[in-house]
Chain A
């Protein structure tokens, strides 16, 4: 079965224009098409100048995040048939500078990501001869949810705090900090504290919760940030009540 839909697509060509515009493409689509298929059809058959990112087409790479009818979505998971209207509006993810058409500049996130030390800082270094750092399934379960992030930037696009103040470290990076803090092999909670508890870290989050709502991998960044707040607040209280116990 083939039906038609109008794609109202955000266009910005930095070499020719200073302001963006919308261009409408009337296309026929198949019942099993996702929005990304529709965009690929436009690029292949209608307008080869249209630019957008994509790679895996199966919700793994996190490249094809865009605003679809005002909602941050992975376009490879958004079926055209699920949109009731005859027009689907497609824009680049909000809160990020647009490089061209639907392509955003993620440099800000890429700069912030390593600042939360997103890797295991072993409690005790072991030599290779001593073998692996083992974990039980229960220990893995404690952080697994927060480890599923694919860096798609949907959470940043949904977060008004980041939209109002781009110095905010942001949901995905903070959730990843909590992922390693919860890892039984890790001893880096204090090392991450300077960044995570800084002015631009967890305390800037006002818990709107939309980051969790839009996450395609159920990572729950909002939950991770609230857990971090409690954890570091307890650490602070302990340091006040029992200053001799500070590391």
Chain B
């Protein structure tokens, strides 16, 4: 067989298209969600010791800490949004031979997420 030529995929492939970049962003936001989950577990662990917990809680009131939390909240919202957008791909509903509008499926998932988030917020604030 004659020689064939295979073009290698450059390491920067994810910078070539907006869709590839958004994929990488989505994957990286999951790291932020993971990191914050670990942080929360550590915080709860520290809660066993009142003095340490109070000191840690004071630190969390610093402006830089609030800024970090806002960044993490943004990343978590992006991550959640990507999952809600994915739901109609997985949950394909039919009414007779008509597919239920994918936007409706995503919308209902979004509403459910808002309701659950609202309940959590209410529990925390009450």
What's the Cα separation between A51 and B24 when bound, in Å?
36
A120 interface contact, C-beta 8 A: no
Partner of B20 from A12, A142, A160, A227 at Cβ < 8 Å: A160
What's the Cα separation between A229 and B9 when bound, in Å?
27
Asked whether, in the complex, the Cβ of A94 is within 8 Å of the Cβ of B7, the reply is: yes
B23 interface contact, C-beta 8 A: yes
Kindly list chain B residues whose C-beta atoms are within 8 Å of the C-beta of A100: 2
Kindly list chain A residues whose C-beta atoms are within 8 Å of the C-beta of B9: 94-95, 160, 163-164
Which chain B residue shows the least CB distance to A71? B17
Asked whether, in the complex, the Cβ of A208 is within 8 Å of the Cβ of B5, the reply is: no
Asked whether, in the complex, the Cβ of A223 is within 8 Å of the Cβ of B94, the reply is: no
B125 interface contact, C-beta 8 A: no
Interface size class of B (residues with CB under 8 A): 20 to 34
Partner of A226 from B23, B27, B90 at Cβ < 8 Å: B90
B16 interface contact, C-beta 8 A: yes
Kindly list chain B residues whose C-beta atoms are within 8 Å of the C-beta of A206: 23, 27
B86 interface contact, C-beta 8 A: yes
What's the Cα separation between A142 and B99 when bound, in Å?
8
Asked whether, in the complex, the Cβ of A227 is within 8 Å of the Cβ of B5, the reply is: no
Asked whether, in the complex, the Cβ of A97 is within 8 Å of the Cβ of B4, the reply is: yes
B13 interface contact, C-beta 8 A: yes
Asked whether, in the complex, the Cβ of B92 is within 8 Å of the Cβ of A223, the reply is: yes
Kindly list chain B residues whose C-beta atoms are within 8 Å of the C-beta of A207: 23, 86, 89
Asked whether, in the complex, the Cβ of A15 is within 8 Å of the Cβ of B27, the reply is: no
B41 interface contact, C-beta 8 A: no
B126 interface contact, C-beta 8 A: no
**CB contact list, B93-118 vs A, under 8 A:** 94, 96-99
Kindly list chain A residues whose C-beta atoms are within 8 Å of the C-beta of B62: none
Asked whether, in the complex, the Cβ of A12 is within 8 Å of the Cβ of B5, the reply is: yes
What's the Cα separation between A160 and B94 when bound, in Å?
32
In the assembled complex, how far is the CB of residue B45 from the closest CB belonging to chain A, in whole angstroms? 31
A114 interface contact, C-beta 8 A: no
Kindly list chain B residues whose C-beta atoms are within 8 Å of the C-beta of A226: 86, 89-90
A99 interface contact, C-beta 8 A: yes
Kindly list chain B residues whose C-beta atoms are within 8 Å of the C-beta of A15: 2
What's the Cα separation between A96 and B7 when bound, in Å?
8
What's the Cα separation between A242 and B117 when bound, in Å?
33
Asked whether, in the complex, the Cβ of B20 is within 8 Å of the Cβ of A138, the reply is: no
B42 interface contact, C-beta 8 A: no
B14 interface contact, C-beta 8 A: yes
Asked whether, in the complex, the Cβ of B16 is within 8 Å of the Cβ of A208, the reply is: no
Kindly list chain A residues whose C-beta atoms are within 8 Å of the C-beta of B20: 160, 208, 210
What's the Cα separation between A70 and B13 when bound, in Å?
12
Known contacts A208-B23, A227-B89: A97-B97 contact under CB 8 Å: no
Asked whether, in the complex, the Cβ of A14 is within 8 Å of the Cβ of B5, the reply is: yes
A binding-site residues for B, Cβ under 8 Å: 12, 14-15, 18-20, 70, 94-100, 105, 136-138, 140-142, 160, 163-164, 206-210, 213, 220, 222-223, 226-227, 229-230
B binding-site residues for A, Cβ under 8 Å: 2-7, 9, 13-14, 16-17, 19-20, 23, 27, 86, 89-92, 94, 96-99
Q: Which 7 A-B pairs have the closest CB atoms?
A: A138-B97, A97-B4, A163-B9, A141-B97, A223-B89, A14-B2, A98-B5
